Structure 1
Amino acid sequence: MLHNGPIGVFDSGYGGLTVFKEIVKELPQYDYIYLGDNARVPYGTRSFETVYRYTWECVQRLFEMGCRLVILACNTASAKALRTIQQQNLPELSDLRRVLGVIRPTAEVVGTLTQTGEVGILGTQGTVASGSYVIEIAKFFPEIKVVQEACPMWVPLVENNEFNSEGADYFIKKNLDNLFAKSANVDTLVLACTHYPLLEEKIRKQVPANVNLVSQGEIVARSLNDYLLRHPEIAVLCSSNGSRQFYTTESTGSFDKKAEIFLGHAVTSSHLEL
């Protein structure tokens, strides 16, 4: 008989905490385990094979800790690993387990937000190179033009608590100028990395007032709620005691300090050795 367990939320670092925060707000009754692979961050510049291997290792650890449902709260992992995990790894398991990502829920709604029919994607090099947003958005809104811009410095700025610095202003302006040079008609920008909401205030200052900024946390949280309503066989496997656990593959002291920036409250994490 299958025992129920927490919902797992995975990210390569801290960015997934922006999604975790919204999921907990939307569905506070469930138990959650957050796992950050901080020892091997960043994922954005790594190969497809490496991102897949790292992600699957972490997903398996969450399964071992009792999770039956895992959310990849990481765009790079969703882009480079999710499909392989869903199509190859999960069918080999002897029981019911599911892994979901953050790209598809965003792609399902982004077309309803644009008036010009042009959407910009701001993401890591890995997410942009994968073309995942272009592919997924085309499935739901084939008429929409998608313009992408890789922002390799944005994650390090956030990870090193430099997101309020003048250096952040410089790189944000540089990447936004690059994107709008590709098309001035973009009126909806997807922050296609879960770190980027911490830069949202600075981004808003650099874009026209009519441009929508799309953060993924609330979208993913609503999508998960809908998924569990449509799949009661999965919902029943998710335990509901309102507990929260945090794990990191790096220093717990560093994780706790930075996690507080993302969540707005103190956390106490445990170290996980892979």
Structure 2
Amino acid sequence: MVTTQPIGIFDSGYGGLTVMKEIVKKLPRYDYIYLGDNARAPYGNRSFDTVYRYTLQCVEWFFQQGCPLVILACNTASAKALRTIQQNDLPHIAPDNRVLGVIRPTTEIIGSFTSSRKIGILATNGTVQSGSYLIEIEKFFPDIKVYQEACPMWVPIVENNEHDQPGADYFVKKHVQHIMSADKDIDTLLLACTHYPLLRDKILQFLPAGVNVVSQGEIVANSLEDYLQRHTDLETRCSKNGHRVFYTTDSTEDFDNHASIFFGEPVRSNHVDLDSNIPVADDNY
């Protein structure tokens, strides 16, 4: 029987660890489970239906582990699956639980970063095609002009640990220069993929001075803190032992070698077979 109620953090791979790192820094007392669906990554080029099915399966797994709250620390999953899960699935499978994403918290405050009111979105194909950022930013800041750029090679570069190598320069320069050529007054670039913070230094090399490069980790952490303060009924259900457990649907050895780069400290993961549908025992904590 599950006795802990950790906060679940999900990503298709490793990128969500950049968000988890900031969440743990901001809210260290809570218990957390991280799941990387590495066996089926990347999600960026998959169809809406496939991303939805994969994400829902992972959310249901988190609920089996006792998580009352799951954060989709993945822009593609947030763009392609979150709304359907919130509106259609949660009322039936877990009406008292909540699933949150990374797009809404970011778009709520993106206006505070720009003076020119012109921003660029760097993201996966899936996030760009969804139009989620265009829709959400329009709700909060209708005066902002948004430009989008899909960067399909950036996730493979990061996941193959080539983000700080000279070989990455061509692909970073290509997309940075392309989006900046869309409007010379763009003063803010949003890294709308949780992998991209690892490319931040290279991105800055190809940008004019003064352009803001915004990552999502700290934004999502601050938003989660505020959310828990406003939803005390949910907050009291979250266990607080300072435990962190990591899972991957693929090789644990490979996950651990990569995860430490994203999380900033050594990670020791467990393997999970989502098709087995077997809950994890409490002694993993």
Fold similarity call, TM over 0.5? yes
State the Cα distance separating 1:264 from its structure 2 match.
2.0
Q: Which residues of 2 match residues 253-272 of structure 1 at below 5 A?
A: 253-272=253-272
Q: Closer, same or farther in 2 for the Cα pair 1:77/1:149, shift >3 Å? A: same
Identity of aligned residues (%): 65
Q: Residue type matched to 1:154 in 2? A: W
Matched, 1:171 2:171: yes
3-state secondary structure, aligned to 1:111: helix
3-state secondary structure, aligned to 1:182: coil
Q: Residue type matched to 2:196 in 1? A: Y
Q: Which residues of 2 match residues 45-194 of structure 1 at below 5 A?
A: 45-93=45-93, 95-194=95-194
State the Cα distance separating 1:177 from its structure 2 match.
1.3
Q: Does structure 2 conserve the Cα–Cα contact (< 8 Å) formed by 1:3 and 1:237?
A: no
Q: What is the CA–CA distance in structure 2 between the aligned matches of 1:183 and 1:85, rounded to whole Å?
A: 36
Q: Does structure 1 conserve the Cα–Cα contact (< 8 Å) formed by 2:249 and 2:271?
A: yes
State the Cα distance separating 1:163 from its structure 2 match.
0.5
Q: Which residues of 2 match residues 238-249 of structure 1 at below 5 A?
A: 238-249=238-249
Match of 2:207 in 1: 207
Q: Does structure 2 conserve the Cα–Cα contact (< 8 Å) formed by 1:155 and 1:196?
A: yes
Q: What is the CA–CA distance in structure 2 between the aligned matches of 1:120 and 1:88, rounded to whole Å?
A: 32
Match of 1:250 in 2: 250
Give the ranges of 4+ consecutive aligned residues of structure 1 lying more than 4 Å apart after TM superposition. Answer: none
Q: Residue type matched to 1:14 in 2? A: Y
State the Cα distance separating 1:180 from its structure 2 match.
1.3
Q: Residue type matched to 1:127 in 2? A: T
Q: Does structure 1 conserve the Cα–Cα contact (< 8 Å) formed by 2:21 and 2:264?
A: no
Q: Which residues of 2 match residues 6-45 of structure 1 at below 5 A?
A: 6-45=6-45
Q: What is the CA–CA distance in structure 1 between the aligned matches of 2:148 and 2:197, rounded to whole Å?
A: 17
3-state secondary structure, aligned to 2:112: coil
Q: TM-score, normalised by structure 2?
A: 0.94
Task: Give ranges in structure 2 of 5+ residues lacking alignment.
Answer: 275-285
Q: What is the CA–CA distance in structure 2 between the aligned matches of 1:64 and 1:209, rounded to whole Å?
A: 48
State the Cα distance separating 1:184 from its structure 2 match.
1.4
Q: Does structure 2 conserve the Cα–Cα contact (< 8 Å) formed by 1:19 and 1:216?
A: yes
Match of 1:232 in 2: 232
Q: Does structure 2 conserve the Cα–Cα contact (< 8 Å) formed by 1:4 and 1:236?
A: no
Task: Give ranges in structure 1 of 5+ residues lacking alignment.
Answer: none
Q: Residue type matched to 2:234 in 1? A: I
Q: What is the CA–CA distance in structure 1 between the aligned matches of 2:96 and 2:126, rounded to whole Å?
A: 30
Q: Closer, same or farther in 2 for the Cα pair 1:261/1:136, shift >3 Å? A: same
Q: What is the CA–CA distance in structure 2 between the aligned matches of 1:173 and 1:266, rounded to whole Å?
A: 31
**CA offsets 1:150-183 (integer angstroms, 9 cap, x no match):** 0000000000001012221110110011101211
How many corresponding residue pairs? Answer: 273
3-state secondary structure, aligned to 1:96: coil
State the Cα distance separating 1:243 from its structure 2 match.
0.3
Q: Does structure 2 conserve the Cα–Cα contact (< 8 Å) formed by 1:4 and 1:68?
A: no
Q: TM-score, normalised by structure 1?
A: 0.98
